[in-house]
Amino acid sequence: MRPAIAAIILAAGLGKRMHSTKAKVLHEVLGRPMVSYVVAVAEKIAGEAVIVVVGHQAQAVRSAVSQTVAARYALQERQMGTGHAVQCALPLLPAGCGQVLVLCGDTPLLTVGTLQRLVADQVASGRDATLVAVNLENPTGYGRVLLNAQSRVCGIVEEADASASQRAIRLINSGIYCLRREFLAEMLPRLSTDNAQQEFYLTDIIRLGYESGKTIGVSPGADPEEILGVNTPQDLARVEALMARRNTISA
């Protein structure tokens, strides 16, 4: 029997590069807050076990999400990084949940098919952690996926912390994960803020897991457009154009 799935959606940030007083995930794509697309996809996989981490303009984000799904909400009062955000959500995971999807609230082009493949890959392989990674011609702005000599995933380095050779890596972390609940509970308390942003990076659980002998892999094949995150008004315009084209094709 497939383990029960929960989804944690990170939606607490303001998004300074949007140059707006509105929380980033509330910016609209074709008339809908971008987070509403993500929670709709998550619900198709996790049912009622969707947890949204809120922070900036928490009530407004709750209101927007509630128009789409009946989610649970974890409050991240201080934005101390993605690892801290997931830690805030852990107590809300249902008792029967064996696998946890972690998604970003600013990736409205994400599809159900990609998440279905990710979960199936994670469960069939028996891994502790599986992440969606894609090769990009221009990986600027994304964390790079590090592989060891045997091509096994051994870590993720954020761009701000990457060396010149690491920045040349084109395999990027999408920020989309499927993780065993026990793995998350074991690794999150081991995170530190020893990095350029002085935050608890969720990405560090991949290195910690590798060093602890956990099984970690990549779920390849996602369309690079699907994992586009919105960080600037230019990103928003690009994502909206892609969404409009997708809707035209499917009409």
Query: pLDDT below 50 — which residues of the chain?
Result: 1-2
Determine whether 152 is an active site residue. no
pLDDT digits (tens, 9 = 90+) for 143-182: 999 999 999 999 999 999 999 999 999 999 999 999 999 9
Q: What DSSP element (H or E) covers 173?
A: strand 171-180
The residues near 128 (Cβ < 8 Å, ≥ 6 apart) are 179, 180, 183, 209, 214, 215, 216
The candidate with the shortest Cα–Cα distance to 30, out of 184, 209, 250, 224, is 250
pTM: 0.96
Distance of alpha carbon 65 from alpha carbon 82, whole angstroms = 20
Interior/surface letters 230-242, b for 16+ CB within 10 angstroms, e for the rest: bbeeebbeebbeb
Q: Do 18 and 56 form a contact (C-beta atoms < 8 A)? A: no
Domains and CATH numbers, the chain: 4-238 (3.90.550.10)
pLDDT of residue 222: 73
pLDDT of residue 1: 42
Q: Which of 2, 17, 152, 190 is catalytic?
A: 17
Q: Do 82 and 188 form a contact (C-beta atoms < 8 A)? A: no
Q: Which residue has the tokens 């303001």?
A: 14
Q: Using DSSP, state whether 79 is helix, strand or coil.
A: coil
The candidate with the shortest Cα–Cα distance to 217, out of 136, 131, 134, is 131
Q: Express the helix, strand and coil content of the chain in percent, nearest 5 each.
A: 40, 25, 35
